[in-house]
Structure 1
Amino acid sequence: MPKQIRLNAFDMNCVVHQSPGLWTHPRDKADRYNTFDYWLELAAILERGRFDALFLADVLGIYDVYRGGPQTALERAVQVPVNDPLMVIPAMACATRHLGFGVTCALSYEHPYPFARRMSTLDHLTNGRIGWNIVTGYLESAARGMGMTAMEDHDTRYDIAEDYLKVVYPLWEGSWEDGAVLRDRAGRRFADPARIHRVTHEGPYFRSSAIHLCEPSPQRTPVLYQAGASSRGRQFAAEHAECVFINGPSPRVIGSIVADIRRRAQAAGRDPAEMLIFTMMTVITGRTTAEAQDKLADYRRHVDEEAALTLMSGWTGVDFSRLDPDKPVPAAHTDAMISALESFTTNADPDRVWTPRDIARHAAIGGRGPVVVGSGTEVADALQDWVATTDVDGFNLAYAVTPETFADIADLVVPVLQERGVFKHDYAPGTLREKLYGPGRARLRDDHPAARYRRAQG
């Protein structure tokens, strides 16, 4: 049986996400990001196209590495202004029945106790369609905004993440037993206190002694996404993530990351086949090859390469304005998003030499991911080739123009994949986890680290 391809839409609650400058295109609606109309229209398109989820990126702080300050980011709207992604999810969930929502929340700047309540609330309001993309943050400007003198170094941030999970896991999985909620109107008993438990944790970074404020939600623990491709990030993903979001410009780069994550998952005692791995891609498609190429040419007239370098500078911690635009990008160690820099150096792909000018052109549409252009049939061919070559399970699809890019995929690419038997015709019932893994799978697997916090029933 052919491998089923998973599709997420990749967006952010801002004007410019991964295609700097294209908000100026006459058909782009990204500058309506601060209205419910934008998000409801997008959700309807995605559910029509049977997308698994809307994957919402987020970032605290401003991209102020390029030219040593925030001016370019502010002027060109490079992921600023940016609104809270959690606020738009309930409205979209109310307007859809099946679409999932993976939301990025940095654990570096919020105590796990209120965060656990926020995610449980969303899991209730979405009927179990919420996922959490676990990130640790990468911008110094965010750390300064939160009153810190500097951001913690890269690996320490993952140590903090490990301690964070040791608070939220028992709150979600063990504070309320499955039978704790009675809803006994006649007996005036909503819950059985004997089956509700205090969670106490004293770790190197967090202390907490609390009863979880929410009754058990449909999934208890949200579907766990993770988006870090550094060595430390891959290990974290192998131990904790159900869905992993990776990024890179070529199958060679992506294939090696996928293989390494699956090896690590197996070594951690988890089933590597259960790990759903998504890579980012931007699709530009039309009814014919020529129409798709015309769209690409049209889009390129609106790109902003300086804004693209502003984005890349923020991701990597390297000020690209200080580099020779036509010399290879050197390998360097920073405490920003390490994998973002590595994917454009010979460390990742010795067959390709990237200069800052090359990176600016590449990142101007779709950020760090590849751009696939062609008819619906040609795009479907490319997606299947990527799956066969890299062993990814699916794609986080960024947009060039929104919502046009997503509507084109829903109308022109998805039907071809469905005809080939590699994409669902209908959603599976149940929670997001059940839609991804099958009926009866609303809860995390028993081999997941969070499962050890569950309590024996009765």
Structure 2
Amino acid sequence: MARRIRFNAFAMNTVGHQSPGLWRHPEDRSEHYTDLEHWTELARVLERGVFDGVFLADVLGTYDLYGGDSAASLRAAAQVPINDPMMLVPAMALVTEHLGFGVTANTSAEHPYPFARRMSTLDHLTRGRVGWNVVTGYLDSAARNMGATQLEHDERYDQAEEYLEVTRKLWELSWEDDAVVRDRVSGVFAEPAKVHPIGHHGHWFDVPGFHLSEPSPQRTPVVYQAGASPRGLAFAARHAEAIFVGGSSPESLRAVVGRARQALHDAGRDPDGVRIYTKLTIITAATSQEAHAKHAEYLRYADVEGALALVSGWMGEDLSRHDLDQPLGTVSSNAIHTYAAAFSGTRDDGRPWTVRDLGERAAIGGLGSLVVGSGQEVADQVEDLVEQTGVDGFNLAYVVTPGSFVDVVEHVVPVLQERGRYPTAYEPGTLRHKLLGAGDRHSEPVSRVGQPA
């Protein structure tokens, strides 16, 4: 039986997410990111297209490595200005019934005690449709503005292990399933004996008390994670229920997917029991000619300098200090190892990556793959990518919003549905159940959380 293909919308509460400069395009509406109607319209489009969810990225700093300041980012609106992604979820949930919401939150930025309550609140308000993309932070600017020093890459994961341990204890161990009785006769809302302090005293955090929220539909939100380094992959293999991976070619992506599946096996988990997504940008239309004309038009609005500002932040390297046409060479990164590893080598044609290559590649859709064509042609390429690489689905970056998503829903989704590769309706249940078919609770025992790699 052919493997089901899955789509998430990759979005951000900002103007220029993955395609800097495209906010100037007459069909782009991303400058309306401060309006709730912008987001509720997007939510309706995605649910019509039976997307797994909207994956909301986030950063808490600015991309200020390129040229030594934030000027290029500000000019291009390259993920700045940016607002809080969590605020969007209740409004989008209100106008949908099934769409999931993956929210990015940084374990270096907020104490786990209030964060656990915020996620429980969202899980209640969405009736169990929320997930947490666990990130450890990679922008030095974010750490500086919170009065901290950026931890080294692996140490950030050490902190994240304990952060997850604390939140899982609060979500899973604090309130028993039947603690809330709502007994109007006796006047007891919750049985005190069934609400337990977690008594956590660790290296990074002390949380002696109990969780403030009663159990939500999923208790622990679905855990998303992206980690390509050995340390990050080990973290994802122990905790994640959906993993995001990247590669500069189908061959490199297949290798990364293989490493992720092997890491899951080594961690004692079912290698096929976790969903693996990769980033993809689709430009499509009714015909191939129209789609390629769109691509050419989009390129006229692309801001390569804004793209290089993003890539500098992702790779932890000021790319303005490199000659545009000289080989980039190996980048030693304290930022996102996924990108540093994928683009420090050679291109598909065997030529080394240059800074100019990276800027042009990232200007439309970031550093993920790009496919252009009619609905039939895109469906062919999407199916080929799934078969070649072993991914379960795609985080679809937009070029213009909501237009890029509308095009996918109108031209690509029906073709995949006709081929039996894409669902025609949602299954009932929580986000976890929809993604994994495994009930509402996280499968990993809380006692295993926080164990060292």
Give the Cα–Cα distance (whole angstroms) in 2 for the partners of residues 429 and 332 of structure 1.
Answer: 45
Are 2:329 and 2:344, in contact at CA under 8 Å, matched by a contact in 1? yes
Give the Cα–Cα distance (whole angstroms) in 1 for the partners of residues 165 and 11 of structure 2.
Answer: 29
Match of 1:263 in 2: 262
Q: Supply the RMSD in Å over aligned alpha carbons.
A: 1.3
Instruction: Please report how far the alpha carbon of residue 85 of structure 1 lies from its aligned counterpart in structure 2 after TM superposition.
Output: 0.2
Give the Cα–Cα distance (whole angstroms) in 2 for the partners of residues 252 and 306 of structure 1.
Answer: 28
Instruction: Please report how far the alpha carbon of residue 352 of structure 1 lies from its aligned counterpart in structure 2 after TM superposition.
Output: 4.7
In the alignment, is residue 40 of structure 1 matched against residue 40 of structure 2? Answer: yes
Letter in 2 for 1:376: G
Are 1:292 and 1:374, in contact at CA under 8 Å, matched by a contact in 2? yes
Match of 1:443 in 2: 441
- Hey, which bits of structure 1, 4+ residues long, moved more than 4 A? 347-350
Instruction: Please report how far the alpha carbon of residue 340 of structure 1 lies from its aligned counterpart in structure 2 after TM superposition.
Output: 1.3
Q: Structure 1 residues 347, 175: CA separation in 2 closer, same or farther (over 3 Å shift)?
A: farther
Are 1:21 and 1:304, in contact at CA under 8 Å, matched by a contact in 2? yes
Instruction: Please report how far the alpha carbon of residue 228 of structure 1 lies from its aligned counterpart in structure 2 after TM superposition.
Output: 2.1
Q: Deviations over 1:373-417 (max 9, x none)?
A: 011011111111111111000000000111000000011100011
Give the Cα–Cα distance (whole angstroms) in 2 for the partners of residues 229 and 210 of structure 1.
Answer: 35
Match of 2:178 in 1: 179
Instruction: Please report how far the alpha carbon of residue 248 of structure 1 lies from its aligned counterpart in structure 2 after TM superposition.
Output: 2.5
Letter in 1 for 2:381: A
Identity %: 55
Secondary structure, aligned partner of 2:339: helix
Give the Cα–Cα distance (whole angstroms) in 2 for the partners of residues 125 and 69 of structure 1.
Answer: 40
Give the Cα–Cα distance (whole angstroms) in 2 for the partners of residues 49 and 296 of structure 1.
Answer: 22
Instruction: Please report how far the alpha carbon of residue 194 of structure 1 lies from its aligned counterpart in structure 2 after TM superposition.
Output: 1.1
Match of 1:304 in 2: 303
Give the Cα–Cα distance (whole angstroms) in 2 for the partners of residues 112 and 303 of structure 1.
Answer: 39
Are 2:316 and 2:334, in contact at CA under 8 Å, matched by a contact in 1? yes
Letter in 1 for 2:201: E
Match of 1:80 in 2: 80
Match of 1:168 in 2: 167
Correspondences of 1:45-56 after superposition (within 5 Å): 45-56=45-56
- The farther-off stretch of 85-94 and 313-322 is 313-322
Give the Cα–Cα distance (whole angstroms) in 2 for the partners of residues 249 and 230 of structure 1.
Answer: 16
Match of 1:19 in 2: 19
Correspondences of 1:161-310 after superposition (within 5 Å): 161-310=160-309
Give the Cα–Cα distance (whole angstroms) in 2 for the partners of residues 369 and 242 of structure 1.
Answer: 21
Are 2:346 and 2:353, in contact at CA under 8 Å, matched by a contact in 1? no
Unaligned runs of 5+ in 2: none
Are 2:347 and 2:353, in contact at CA under 8 Å, matched by a contact in 1? no
Secondary structure, aligned partner of 1:351: coil
Letter in 2 for 1:78: A
Are 1:239 and 1:449, in contact at CA under 8 Å, matched by a contact in 2? no
Instruction: Please report how far the alpha carbon of residue 200 of structure 1 lies from its aligned counterpart in structure 2 after TM superposition.
Output: 1.2
Secondary structure, aligned partner of 1:274: coil
Instruction: Please report how far the alpha carbon of residue 434 of structure 1 lies from its aligned counterpart in structure 2 after TM superposition.
Output: 1.1
Are 2:247 and 2:256, in contact at CA under 8 Å, matched by a contact in 1? no
Secondary structure, aligned partner of 2:208: strand
Unaligned runs of 5+ in 1: 454-458
Instruction: Please report how far the alpha carbon of residue 332 of structure 1 lies from its aligned counterpart in structure 2 after TM superposition.
Output: 2.2
In the alignment, is residue 144 of structure 1 matched against residue 140 of structure 2? Answer: no
Letter in 1 for 2:73: A
Match of 1:94 in 2: 94
Are 1:342 and 1:348, in contact at CA under 8 Å, matched by a contact in 2? no
